[in-house]
Every structure is written in structure tokens, then in C-alpha cells.
Structure 1
Amino acid sequence: MKAWQIVSKGEFRLVEKDGTVDSGEVKVKVNKAALACTDLELYKGQGNAMFPIVPVMSAVGQISEGSELAGLQKGERVVLYPYEMDPDTTYNKKRVLAPDVKIMGLDTDGFLCDFVTVPHEKAYILPEGVSDSAALFTEYIALGIKVIEALHVEKGQYITILGANTIGNIIAQLALYYQIVPVLIDTDQSKLDLAQSYGVYYTVNPTSANVGDRIKEITGGEMAEYCVYEIRGGMSPNYATAITKETGTVVVVGHHLENETVNFNLCDILEKQLSVIGVKNGYGEFYSAINLLANRAIKTDGLVDVEIEFEDVPRKFQELAEVETRIPYQKVVVKC
């Protein structure tokens, strides 16, 4: 099995991985893998990046070999579950935020491979109507579900979302599904336009409107009680505390890397008595995420901007690493 491994800052190596399939495991032919910002950050040596590591947390493929006891047949399409948790941990429950989760492709080897061997319970069968490209967003949808749960927001209430990257876009769509009113905020008008095409009615671009005034206008003179701050969305974190009403809740969402810092306005947090919650994974929500895709509750057409071949991985990472501003893509997909 071949895998792209980051061996040091700015350096990839194509390595051979052990293809042995142990009892209770399945071998999956990876069809597509989606690159994330964390993959690029690892490549650039940001945070406490540990080398060598195989990046990528989102991948789909087909069963090529495995135990019949798992109930998975050769050729079945699956999306791979990237979370690892000690089964004895007290957080091993659905509907509970799970901080002690390791993420494959970030904390341990991920899925940037032609084949991968995983425990059978990490291979989730895909319904017939869910395409490979759509399934690549399963982890983001699971993460978004955790965000909505953490907020305890009710139908008809407003939620501001800072950052219209893939995660922000999906959270806005989830809000609509749960009959919550999202207000999506970003300086990239093309990303706001994409969200509007998905049915997100309220969007605000700080380059052409005063965010606070616009939020007041939308909410009938009040600020929103709930806010989501996407750490890689390119927005100032001070918006989060400024546009959230007194005793409101701010959720900070994103896949972590060590040594990342976000500077919030502590005066606003104290003065308004805001609650701040961190959500960094979608542990326990993969089935729900897949069902939302199957029911077409979440749109993904347009979220994949670029597809590359497996052999082009080092070149594309080098190209992206040279971009000094926000990455101009929603999602880059590798055809494995």
C-alpha cells in the first residue's frame, strides 16, 4: 500500500505501508481524499507538528478485503471514520462533547493512501444516493451537528456564523435544517454567494456593510444570542464577542493544532457574561451526518473546487504553502 507521508517541514515521501489485514479489520481502496487546512499546516510545520505522519482525515473508498463477520462485502462503498478514543474514557458517549479524541491525519496517520487498513467499525457504508464527493464532507457535518448541540439553540432563534469556509457553510445549512436562522459573515463574497445558492438568506460582508448595524437590522434591534467562530475562517475573533448579546454563547469550532491562539476581547466576555465553548470533533455523529446527506438536507455541489491526481500531491501542497492570503479554494480533493 502506498501512502504520502510528511517526513519533515515542506517534505513529502511516498512510502509503502503494511497491507496485512488482521482479524476484525478491512482493507479499503481509497477512491477520494479531501485535503484540510490542518494538512497544510502540518506540511508547513506549524504548531507542534509530529513527523513523520500521513495526513488527511476525510476519505471514501471501496472494501477490497476484510472479515465477513464485519458484515461488509467486497466492493461496498464506505466513508472512513477518523476518530480514535480510549474505550474506557468517560467521554465515550453520543451527544457529549468529547475532548480526548485523536483525529487520524492530525494526531495519528490518516488516509492519504491508495489503500488503507482499518478496524471494520471505522468503515461506514454509504447509501446509494450519496456520491463519493458528497461523502467527503461527512466529518464536517458531524462536527457541525456537535456545534448545534453545544449551543442548545431553539427553533426560530438567530445564530451568527463567522467564516464562510466549508465548515461555516455547512453549519449554516444545518441551522436551516433545524429551523434556526443563520447569519453568515465573511469578507469573501464568492463564498457568501455560494451559501446563498444553498438557501442561506442572511449574509453579511464586512467590506461593504457594518456588521453590528446589519445584525441589529436582521434581528429587529437585538444582537444574536448565539455565535459560531470558525478558527480558520479569516474573521477577527472580536466580532464574536461584539455581535453576541448579553449572556449569549459563543462556540469556537475547528480542528486543533498545538500552539494555536485566538485573542478574544475579554472585556466583552466579562461585561456581557458570555459563555465560550470549544468544539473540535464530530465524535459519535457519523450516522446522523450520513443520513443528512442521504436525505439531501446538506448541499455539497460547489464545495469541491479542485481535484488532483495522487502523484500530484507534493506539487499541490507546495503551491498552497506559497499562498500568503486565505486559500482560494473551498476543498481540494485527491483522486487516489
Structure 2
Amino acid sequence: MQVYTESDFTGTEIRSSRTVSVFNGNKRIGQAYKRNHAAEQLPPIDNWGNVYVTAAPQGFTYECKIMSGFPNTFVNYTCSTNVTEHVDLPEAGSFKTLTFGNSTCFLISNKPILVNIIVANDNQRPCLITMPALEEIEGEPMVYVPAAMENAQLVIVTNVRITVKSANETISEYVECPSHINTCIILVENLNRNQIYKITPMRQPFVVSVYIHGINMKGRGIGYPILQRTNKKQQTTTENADVKCGESTVLPGSSTEGPPPPLVLNTSCQCCSFKNYTVNLEETLKLLKDELYVHPKKTTLYLRSLISAPDHRVASKVMGYTCGCVLGIFGICLVILDIGSLLAMWENIKGNICNH
């Protein structure tokens, strides 16, 4: 099945009874000769996150598109020290486009959000990348650089020191640790094509978010996230679960000591509204029937049947005037034919009145 629209993100909700794979994209993004098609596989909503760090590859800029998965979503983002801005996403499926340029930005929300970035520069065509949320994992992520990707580089966000190794060498990297994101950005450039690289942290577990970016032989951007398959399950409430609401959202794996992250939201637990209660099925059906029933004489179809639609065409006006004239002439002819009888009747009436 394929759904097509002329607009930007649609905010369409997709549910299925079995496992499916969903891709989104468009025919082209960018301008003039720098245009490129964009496509990405959508993660399910339970894989969306609340904490993201967005950063551009070396030599590139990017736009950020944020989409909400639930109503009343609030997002705070910081792209420089002591400057915090916010975005309100009132409905599930609402989205906002932000131009971050080459800034490194920290985003935190009260409810799960999807973050996409469009990476481009003056010489190469753009590409669309779904950003992985910051997540605490264990293990050593593996990255494969496709044979069709040139000038490949890894963009790694983490809170520990790491090394990136292939089978033959250890790759040097550029490390930047802005104070407003509480993590470090590691840019690993000049990756070899058709090669596998291993990301090894100095301690376990660790917080990480990784994506790879490069270009193909035609100068078109290529990029995709490095997703971790973890056994971490989404928290759910059971009948006897003790749910604590109003907890603060904090950076995964961060310490509770010392100053908090620059973006901390007091949020309500999403599962708190799901409480057990008894429903009277008959009353519910009656209410639905009363609410949804529409009387046949109140439908627009019936109301339109009582109204003559105006027709302002010249041909329609000529036909109407012609029919009116014909009917008028026919009535006048009937009167003229009976005028003698009408006069004789009038004389009889006068005579009868005078005789009396």
C-alpha cells in the first residue's frame, strides 16, 4: 500500500495486527541541481525517545523536523549555552521544522517524539536521516560502510570515552564536548568503503546515539541511523502497578548529583490515565446511537432536494424567458376566444340586476 500527499509530514497513524515495515520519503528535496529523493524506514512509536542530541557531519548543515506521537507534547531545545527555546506540538502527528545550521542541539520532551534531520551542503545533494534517541545500552555496536558510500563519517553522541576500530586500524576522531548537551560529539571521518567498524566504550553500560553519513558516486547524500536492538521494554501499567506520576525527564544514565541538565521538564506519566473501570455496554451503545443518529430529513441530501439550484447561464435564461412568454401568450389566446361569451354573460347579469 502506498499513501501519497502534496504536503510535508502527514502525521498519519498506522496500526497493524501483525509486524509490518513502513517507509516514508518524497521524490525530491533541495533546489535546482542539488535536489535528491529522500526515503527512510519509520521506527515504531515505542522506539521513539524523549532525549536527542542533533549534530551535523563535518562540513555540512542540517534542518531538523520534530514530530509528536501524543497530544500536548512540549519540546525544549538548546543549541548554545544558556539559551533555551521551546516548541509546542498540540496534536499527535503535529510537527515543526527548525533550521539548526551546523549547531549541536540538545532536545528533550515530555512525551516521545520522532526527530529527522535533512543534511546538505553547497556542493552535495541532501539526504534524510531519522535520528536515534539517546539510549543507555551494553555491548559494542558494529557499523558497516557500504561499498557505494564515499567520504563516509560517523557522528557519535556518547557520555564515555570510546575507540573506533576496523580489522586493520584504529580510526582517529574529532571530539567536541559542548557544556549545554552533557555529552560529547565524536566525528569519525575517512571511513573505508565495504568495511566493518566496531565502537568500543571504556565502560559499560553507556549512553549512545550514532548515525553514518556519506555520498554516492553521483554526489547524492546517503545516511542512516545505527539502531541498537536492546531488550529494553516499554514500561506498562498492570492492574496492581504502583504508578508514580509527575516525575522529571532526565538524560539516560546521567547522575542525579550536581546541576541538572539545562532542559528538564516535569511531565505526567502517560500510563496514569489508563485505569481500570467498569463500562455498561448497553448504556454506551445507546449513547453512541443517540450521538451518531442523523434523521433522514436533516441530511444535506434531503435539504438540497427542496432547493432549486440557481443557473446563471445565458442559455438557461433564454429558455426560461421563452417558456414564460409561450405560457403567457397561450393564456391570452384563451381569454380572447372566450371574450364574446364573457360579454354576453355580463349583459345577462346586468339585465337581471336592473329588472329586480
Please indicate the TM-score interval, normalised by the length of the shorter structure. under 0.3
Higher relative contact order (CA 8 A, sep 6+): 1
Q: Which has the higher helix share?
A: 1
Q: When the two structures are superposed, what TM-score results if normalisation uses the length of structure 2?
A: 0.21
Larger Rg, first or second structure (1 or 2)? 2
